[in-house]
Amino acid sequence: MLLQSRIMLILILIAMTASLYLIFIVVPTDVNLGISQRIFYIHVPLAVLSLIPPILVFATSMVYLVKRSPQWDAIAHSSVEVGLLFTTLALITGSIWARPTWGVWWTWDPVLTTFLILWLVYLGYLLIRSYSTDPDRRARFSAIVGILGSINALTVYLASELWRTIHPDKVIGPTAQENALDPSIQLGILVSFIAILLLFVYTIIFRTKLHTATDQIGSIQTQLDDLVHSIVRK
């Protein structure tokens, strides 16, 4: 394992331990929402980071369509896969929080619905990739789907501005309200966010490297098979 990789894993471990310590020991229990409010410390970073892959996919897919270099397709594919994981976990943790707070597991609120559409876009992207066998065609089609699907991420972020929603206000980003969080909660959210961000970055880098290595090995294997056939013919 490379040194950078080890350092990154150690940093993730430290940040995760610190965030768990803050969430379960330091941060006070919310008076209104009770102990289930602590779900926010994992749900908010997961939900916010779910909106990063569409930006990556949009940029890398555009570059791929211009340059046709497989490395950009590898980044886009890895971003979608990690995005799907984060979106799935954000949906589940959000649903678990909603049950004691709103009384239902799920409601067709604009924020939740657009988020579910984002999840379906990620799934559609991966389904399109699994259908196509030709690597160039697969990368081209998925780049187009990736670009079109990324636009939906904007509706997720702006859903609370465009429609009436019961979802709590945004706490991170340009349209978030000032002092949306209590100072005692801010530290917990910040450390938890850093921990999950490190995990997010590490996972995307690792997945991209794996994707590139798989493509390269597949290409070498094809060349090797051709060589074996030419030797047999001789």
Partner 1 sequence: MRNWYMIRMLVSFGVFIIFLGATGTTDVVISDNGPEANLPFLFAAFAIAWLGFIVYAWYLASQHSRLRQDLANMQNQLTDIQNSINNQ
231 contributes a contact to partner 1 by CB under 8 A: yes
- Which CB contacts under 8 angstroms, 24+ apart, belong to 190-193? 191/15, 191/18, 191/19, 191/22, 192/19, 192/22, 192/23, 192/41, 192/42, 192/44, 192/45, 193/44, 193/45, 193/48
68 scored as a contact of partner 1 (CB under 8 A)? no
* Among 116, 128, 54, CA closest to 90: 116
| CA distance linking residue 78 with residue 56, whole number of Å | 10
- Check residue 85 for interaction with partner 1 (CB under 8 A): yes
Among 10, 67, 105, 226, binds partner 1 (CB under 8 A): 105
CA 182 to chain centre: 26
d(CA 52, CA 57): 9
Residue 210 binds to partner 1 (criterion: CB under 8 A) = yes
Residue 77 interacting with partner 1 (CB under 8 A)? no
Q: Which stretch binds partner 1 (CB under 8 A): 125-133, 151-159, 160-168, 176-184?
A: 125-133
Among 107, 175, 184, 219, binds partner 1 (CB under 8 A): 107
The neighbour count for residue 197, using CB atoms within 10 Å, is 16
State which residue, 91 or 181, has the beta carbon closest to partner 1. Answer: 91
Structure tokens at 123: 């799934």
Which residue stretch of 138-146, 173-181, 182-190, 209-217 sits at the interface with partner 1 (rule: CB under 8 A)?
Answer: 209-217
Q: How far apart are CA 30 and CA 36, in angstroms?
A: 9
The CA dihedral of 121, 133, 213, 201, to the nearest 10 degrees, is 0
Which of 14, 55, 151, 217 is close enough to bind partner 1 by CB under 8 A?
A: 217
Q: Is 186 in the site for partner 1 (CB under 8 A)?
A: no
- One residue of 11, 62, 106, 167 binding partner 1 per CB under 8 A: 106
Q: Which of 8, 36, 141, 187 binds partner 1 (CB under 8 A)?
A: 36
The reply to whether 131 sits near partner 1 by the rule CB under 8 A is no
CA angle 42, 153, 179 (to 5 degrees): 50
Interaction site with partner 1 (CB under 8 A): 29, 34-36, 38-39, 42-43, 46, 84-85, 88-89, 91-93, 95-97, 99-100, 103-108, 116, 119-120, 123, 126-127, 130, 199, 203, 206-207, 210, 213-214, 217, 220-221, 224, 227-228, 231
